Structure 1
Amino acid sequence: MKTGDTSPDTRVANLLDQVNPSTTTAELIEILARGENIRVERIVSQGHSSDAGFWYDDPSAEWVMVLSGEAQLRFLVGDKLVHLRRGDHITIQPHEKHRVEWTQPDERTVWLAIHFLPLSYTES
């Protein structure tokens, strides 16, 4: 892209590329795209879980799909535990408190997450 060029990034990328084990134990969160009221992320986890006592309480909805690996989410209401495998997806509503209980310790879990405001939140 030339300096001053504001055209969108049109490079081709693969969500499963460059997901080899590395020397870091940090969870990788990569923003792939964003716009008004939407954000698309690739998340790579291995042996990760939310900190004790921590609950996500996002103001936006989140659609998440497991592309590889496995994970478990826990929801505060009803203490519901959801196991996700490759290809599984779930929509988490705004302010639906949840946490990551577990991701596979011996294999990378790759997530595709789309954060957005549901139409009922944006249409008034």
Structure 2
Amino acid sequence: MNNIFASLPKDLSAEVFEDIVRRDSVRIERIVSRGHSSPERGWYDQDEGEWVMVLRGAARLLFEDGREVELGAGDFIDIPARTKHRVSWTDPGETTVWLAVYYK
């Protein structure tokens, strides 16, 4: 048995992405952030859908159409494939732990 909060990285100078499960049609990833955001230029524009939940901490997602969504612990969103988005903010004072499910 494993725990999503076990072995959180101590060095968060960069955001940490770790696969938990990887199969042909689905990938589940733990993301750990602390004050990180996506690069100023460019968007995530994926061939697969992404369901993402903030388990701890807080974050904001910005979409190409200008919509911004704030997520706190327990909040989740389903992002359809080819929907351009980026992380505009994560809480700099608390570690944010995400669970992301990528599916085809």
1:95 aligns with one of 76, 82, 97:
82
1:23, distance to aligned residue in structure 2 (A)? 3.5
- Provide structure 1 residue ranges, at least 5 long, that are not aligned to the other structure: 1-11, 118-124
1:85, distance to aligned residue in structure 2 (A)? 0.2
1:18, distance to aligned residue in structure 2 (A)? 1.9
Q: 1:75 corresponds to which residue? A: 63
Corresponding pairs, count: 104
Work out whether 1:15 is the aligned partner of 2:4.
yes
Q: 1:43 corresponds to which residue? A: 31
Contact kept? 1:19, 1:108, Cα under 8 Å: no
User: Quick one: higher RCO (CA 8 Å, sep 6+), 1 or 2?
Assistant: 2
Helix, strand or coil: the match of 1:113? strand
Work out whether 1:54 is the aligned partner of 2:42.
yes
Helix, strand or coil: the match of 2:2? coil
Runs of 4+, deviation exceeding 6 Å = none
Between the aligned partners of 2:27 and 2:81, the Cα distance in structure 1 is 14
TM value normalised by structure 2 = 0.95
Change (3 A) 1:94 1:68: same
Between the aligned partners of 1:23 and 1:36, the Cα distance in structure 2 is 31
- Provide structure 2 residue ranges, at least 5 long, that are not aligned to the other structure: none
Contact kept? 1:49, 1:100, Cα under 8 Å: yes
Residue identity over aligned pairs, in percent, reads 45
- Name the amino acid aligned to 1:109: T
Contact kept? 1:39, 1:116, Cα under 8 Å: yes
RMSD value over aligned CA atoms? Answer: 1.0
1:19, distance to aligned residue in structure 2 (A)? 2.0
* Structure of larger gyration radius: 1
